[in-house]
Amino acid sequence: MKAKTGQESPVSLFICGDILNKEKTEGLVCSPEMEQLVSSADYSICNFEAPVSGFGKEQDTPGGHHNQRPETIPGLRIQGFNMLLLANNHMLDFGKPALEATLKLAEENGLDTIGAGSDEEFAYQPVVKLIKGLKLGFINACEAQFGVLDYMTGSNKAGYAWINHSVIDKNILLLKKKCDFVIVFSHAGLEDFPIPQKEWRIRYKHLCDLGADVVIGSHPHVPQGYEHYGESLIFYSLGNFYFDTRRYRQKENSSFSVWLELKKGGKPSFRPVYHYKHDGFTDFAPENKRVDIDKLNSLLGDAYETEHDKMSMTVYNRIKNKLTISLFPPIPVDGKIKTFFRMLLSLIIKKKISYRDLHQLILFRNDSLYFAIRHALELKVQNRR
């Protein structure tokens, strides 16, 4: 860790969003200029979006499965990172062996990890770091998707911490008593929308009421706005830092990271670090490539309710056919013959959990989808009155 002695200057943290590397054989995802900034912080943190490849096998889920090159972990260490956030929806895509291999490789390379583990106690364990005389408490958790350790999961199973679990609240209260600052990292929300859902805004503000000084979100893959709440800061989504799956390989992923500064007895302060993917690496964004944070922040104001209603209806209309199909598998109600054959193939190979039941479970377990479906149906019912 790059901690220094003395209290002359504030503690600096570099915090970025999602990282998933499939192409970089050396594991290096930043330009030399970005690497210099990451390395210059007292402590640098990223969301490690998927486990390392070569371990475990694909788990039963109709969604996409992601892993990434093992070289990514030593590469991130070389480029200045200190902590990997592991509470995310892909961390258990290849089961416990892949998660444990990720944890082991991180430890061997001197990287801290948080948010996922071989059992519930490990997954929910906060991390406390003493940096330049300042005691910082970190918490990492994700919305309920595949791999979540929620109230229905056995305590001895591998998985990730759930952001809505009461343990998260208790840990914030405990950390607040012994730390100078408490920072919560959440992996939640609807993908590809520029605003957070109302339920996540309420939840994050509640975490601040409990004692979180900063809440930082990821998962939507695009940046969202931030807001001051009392003396706390809430960043709803930092978007992708480096992502090269097929869907994002050719995209610039214009977004921002946070340079956070903390000083004993003071409020957290920050500056945005604008970046985009250039020549295959994450690099500083020139003026014309910078994401418009002011515009994102404005969406949290007067226009928010209208945009939130539109977002909820859009998501509901996207997934209502999938929900219908999962309830009535022989009928390709969306008119796509490939959907019918996909379901038929799933039944033929006799998965341990049928495609129908599994798809229903995923649709109803996912916090963000549940919020969207419920809100959309409430709007539909209200409009009929």
Distance of CA 310 to the CA centre of its chain: 23
What is the rounded distance in angstroms from the CA atom of residue 221 to the CA atom of residue 243? 9
Half-sphere exposure of 191 (CA within 13 A, CB side): 9
Q: Torsion angle, CA of 202/205/210/213, rounded to 10 degrees? A: 160
Written as tens digits, the pLDDT of the chain (385 aa) is: 454 444 468 999 999 999 999 999 999 999 999 999 999 999 999 999 999 999 999 998 767 899 999 999 999 999 999 999 999 999 999 999 999 999 999 999 999 999 999 999 999 999 999 999 999 999 999 999 999 999 998 778 999 999 999 999 999 999 999 999 999 999 999 999 999 999 999 999 999 999 999 999 999 999 999 999 999 999 999 999 999 998 888 899 999 999 999 999 999 999 999 999 999 999 999 999 999 999 999 999 999 999 999 999 999 998 887 777 666 655 444 555 666 666 555 555 544 445 677 777 877 889 999 999 999 999 999 887 5
Q: Which helix (H) or strand (E) holds 318?
A: helix 304-327
* Nearest in space to 343 (alpha carbons), one of 333, 332, 334: 332
Domain boundaries, the chain: 11-298, 304-384
* Nearest in space to 86 (alpha carbons), one of 169, 221, 168, 185: 185
- The predicted pLDDT at position 340 comes to 60
Half-sphere exposure of 313 (CA within 13 A, CB side): 11
- The predicted pLDDT at position 47 comes to 98
What is the rounded distance in angstroms from the CA atom of residue 25 to the CA atom of residue 21? 9
Residue with tokens 């007292």: 42
CATH superfamily of 11-298: Metallo-dependent phosphatases (3.60.21.10)
pTM exceeding the 0.85 threshold for the entire prediction: yes
| DSSP secondary structure, 212-272, as one string | -SEEEEE-SSSB--EEEETTEEEE--B-EEEE-STTTTT----EEEEEEEE-TTS--EEEE
